[in-house]
Amino acid sequence: MADWIHVRGRGTVSKVNGAEESDATPDDIGGIARQVAADAVYGSFGDFRDEYWKKKWNSAPEDLVRVDAARDDNDHRKFTIDISINPALYDVTRGGLQHFLGVLAGDLFYLRIPGFILKDINVTKVEIPDGLSRALETTYRKEAYSTQRIRSAFQLNSHDALLAFSFKPRVGLKADAIREITLGVLDAGFHIVEFDTRYLDLSDATVDFLLELAGEAAQVGGKGRITRLSPNLSVAAPLALDLCHRFGKTSDWPYIVKVDGGFDGLSTVQEIRRQFAGTHAPIITCYPLLRDQLASKIPPDTFVAALAQSGVDIVYPGKGPSVGKPFRELGQAESEAVGEATRRYRLLADKEWPMISLAGGVYAGQLHALFELVGPKVAYFLGGAVSLHRRGPVEGARLCSKVLAKSAKLHCDALADVADLPGELIKEIEEAYDIPPGIDKNTFHYVPPRDLKVEVPRW
């Protein structure tokens, strides 16, 4: 059944008789698994008796879903269910991907079965067959962009990092402040200013202002550098499509839009991909809002992959290397965690699509180390690192740009041989941010790459 969708769930079960609980038998667990599998596709809370239903099936139940289950050898109250589902049930050209994810996130493992107590059932693995993946990519990825295509669009050299400012404060600023910060950050070396997750003010007056600002933003870099404003279009598809058309007229290609992985995300991205082709297609960035919130039912990597297959071009996959501890050297456990996260990021980056980003709490003192770990194929989407600078976001952008530019020049083949940033720049980094009360004074310190002591592939 290599061409079927496979879902693995794990949980605990006990048999109840009055006030007493006991271990469920293998036969009990098999029955529970069959009920879960049936309910995932065609079932109800019991079996459909053959004397009525036998000749009424268009597809027999065993051609729709199959199941296997096993009890844990070491703990008989833990069990694993492996469900195989016919992918023909999910037409991905007509919302089938959303349908499938809805099954996972919905009541797939929320059954109440008389005589049993089921607890802590989580989806631990999802495998999508190649045929379904090809259908998704044929439908939605044919107009999406590779990492190299995006880097070329921004005229980046081999060691240049793509820099984006995720605008913070997210909401509440006056229009003239938004203009000042946007144009100042782009002038300081950033390529993209995007409106972050909470900014969805798309009233007519605001859209008119943003359209004008997008045109101004495109002029900042002049002939030597590509600079763009990215609106947040994390809204229903009809409105997003209209705004894509309008923002696409504010500059030559490339133009950028942001569609986050929330409740409208998959459908909106898919519809943009349907409607835009060739040089008219925007680059779509995405923060997968529901990735961790749905993790017990939709594994995070499955959710990110669904966004990629729907057509996003730049996405934050989560679980990036964490090098910002307030102490100067990492211990063995921390080093191993950094190495594992780096290898994952490098593997994702080397696939070339979607382009992946670093985001979420990154500050200037980490950038040199992160650049050495994951390299320039990764986009750097920075928020607080820019906006929390003591002298404001323009100075924050200038500092981050300076750090990454110098990092590119210091790169060498061995991590242990990478020289530190110049002392004056380190001093500037460590004086850039106010330390919140009660927090370790080294919280925003500079992280020298050679202090990481991790074995990771070089780029």
| pLDDT tens, residue by residue, 110-135 | 767 888 998 888 999 999 999 999 99
Q: Quick count: other Cβ atoms within 10 Å of Cβ 3? A: 12
Q: Which of 37-46, 57-66, 127-136 has the lowest mean pLDDT?
A: 37-46
Give the span between the Cα atoms of 123 and 67, in whole angstroms.
14
Tell me the domains of the chain and their CATH numbers. Answer: 5-128 (3.30.70), 142-451 (3.20.20.110)
| pLDDT tens, residue by residue, 143-193 | 789 999 999 999 999 999 999 999 999 999 999 999 999 999 999 999 999
Q: Is 338 in contact with 145 (CB distance < 8 Å)?
A: no
Is the pLDDT confidence value at 1 over 60? no
Q: What percent of the chain has pLDDT over 90?
A: 80
pLDDT band at 457 (very low <50, low <70, confident <90, very high): confident
The string of DSSP letters for 311-364 reads T-SEE--S-------SSSS--HHHHHHHHHHHHHHHHHHHT-SSEEEE-SS--H
For residues 187-204, average pLDDT: 94
Cα angle 323, 328, 333; round to 5: 55
End-to-end Cα, the chain, rounded Å: 38
Helix (H) or strand (E) holding 16: strand 5-17
| pLDDT tens, residue by residue, 254-264 | 999 999 999 99
Buried b (16+ CB within 10 A) or exposed e, 395-428: bbbbbbbbbbeebbebbeeebeebeebeeebbeb
Say which amino acid occupies 415: L
Of the candidates 459, 439, 215, 212, the one whose C-alpha atom is nearest the C-alpha of residue 347 is: 459
Is the pLDDT confidence value at 49 over 90? no
Strand order in the sheet with 163-167: 228-230, 192-195, 163-167, 379-382, 355-358, 314-315, 283-286, 256-258
Using DSSP's 3-state secondary structure scheme, residue 289 falls into coil
Buried b (16+ CB within 10 A) or exposed e, 45-71: eeeeeeeeeeeeeeeebeebbbbebeb
Residues 6 or more apart from 94 whose CB is under 8 A from it? none
Give the span between the Cα atoms of 183 and 260, in whole angstroms.
24
Using DSSP's 3-state secondary structure scheme, residue 446 falls into coil
Q: Which of 88-92, 100-104, 323-327 has the lowest mean pLDDT?
A: 323-327
What pTM does this model have?
0.94
Q: What is the pLDDT of residue 277?
A: 80
Is the pLDDT confidence value at 206 over 70? yes
Give the span between the Cα atoms of 371 and 365, in whole angstroms.
11
The string of DSSP letters for 134-177 reads HHHIIIIITT---HHHHHHHTT--TTPPPEEEEESS-S---HHH
For residues 281-309, average pLDDT: 96
Give the span between the Cα atoms of 35 and 110, in whole angstroms.
11
Q: Is 422 in contact with 389 (CB distance < 8 Å)?
A: no
Q: What percent of the chain has pLDDT over 70?
A: 98
Q: What is the pLDDT of residue 113?
A: 84
Is the pLDDT confidence value at 235 over 80? yes
Give the span between the Cα atoms of 64 and 87, in whole angstroms.
9
